[in-house]
Structures are given as structure tokens and as C-alpha cells.
Amino acid sequence: MVEQHWRFQFGFLPITSVAPDSGAGLPSSVMKPRRVLDRCSGVPASSNQWKWDIGFYPGIEPGMQQGGSAESFEVAREAFEKAWLKLEPRLTEEHFECWRRDRDFHAWKLRMWSDGRPLPAQRRDGRSTFFCGAPIETGCEDHIYSAHRGIGA
């Protein structure tokens, strides 16, 4: 089975996954852009083998995502690209910024965990230390978004 994975960049946002045969379905997190084009699993060979789905949260509310299927990767990709071009103008810088912050916050949290550092909320006194050495308290988002901007990029 051919393994293909494409990652498109939009600004510095990884915005597209094209993952044929992944069988993984769509990312469950709604706080990230997703454009997934993957091969339908378990469908009869005679029907459309490629499906695509496009959405972005925040900006495109759940239920407003678009998707479809096609008999070939090229056709699916074309339909998907058209849908993205329609959707993109509805997104504002605020939507992208919200997404970036969410991405960085989660990356920061994972880095804290992997470094064995407690999150401020996990401590009785609400204090901990950033992996960079800076002291942190609950409500440390400003430091993440200024000092560690792009950590999850």
C-alpha cells in the first residue's frame, strides 16, 4: 500500500493533511485547521475511493464543514481545493490567531509534561517553573504566547 502524506503550509500553519489509507478518520480536535483527504476504508472498489473533508475551527462552525468523495485522488483534491478557496475568505486573522495560540498552548503543555514539570494548576500553590526557567503561575498564557510563540509550529 502506498503511503502518502502531504502537509501543506498556510503561513506557518500546517493546515492540510492528505492521508490516503490512514483509516484514522478525522482529527477529533476541533481547535485546529483540518483539511483531510483520505481514501475511504472498507468501501467497495466500485464506489468512490477518495473522500475529503474541510473545516477550520474557530471560524467554521461544526456542521458547516464540507466534504465529498471522488473516484480518484486528483478529482478529490480538485474539489477539496475549490472548497478551501471558498472557505478561506470567511476566516479572519483572529481565527488564525486563536488557532495558533491553542496550538502553542497544547505544545507547551506537552513539553511541560515530557520534562516532568507540573503545570501550575496541578500544584496546590499554583506555581511552577517554565522549562526555560521562568517562574509561572496560573494564567501564564502571556508568557507562552510571547516567549514561546510558535512552539507548536
Contacting positions for Zn ion (CB under 5 A): 130, 132, 134, 147
Residue pair 138/125 in contact by the 8 Å Cβ criterion = no
Q: Residue 104 CB, nearest distance to Zn ion (Å)?
A: 12
Closest residue to Zn ion: CB criterion:
132
Q: Residue 55 CB, nearest distance to Zn ion (Å)?
A: 32
Tell the burial category of 151 from Cβ atoms under 10 Å away from its Cβ (0-12, 13-18, 19+): middle
Distances (CA, A) of 105 to 3, 39, 93, 100, 152: 31, 31, 18, 8, 8
Instruction: Give the residue with the Cβ less far from Zn ion, 121 or 147.
Output: 147
DSSP category for residue 32? S
Q: Residue 134 CB, nearest distance to Zn ion (Å)?
A: 4
Q: Residue 98 CB, nearest distance to Zn ion (Å)?
A: 21
Instruction: Give the residue with the Cβ less far from Zn ion, 123 or 149.
Output: 149
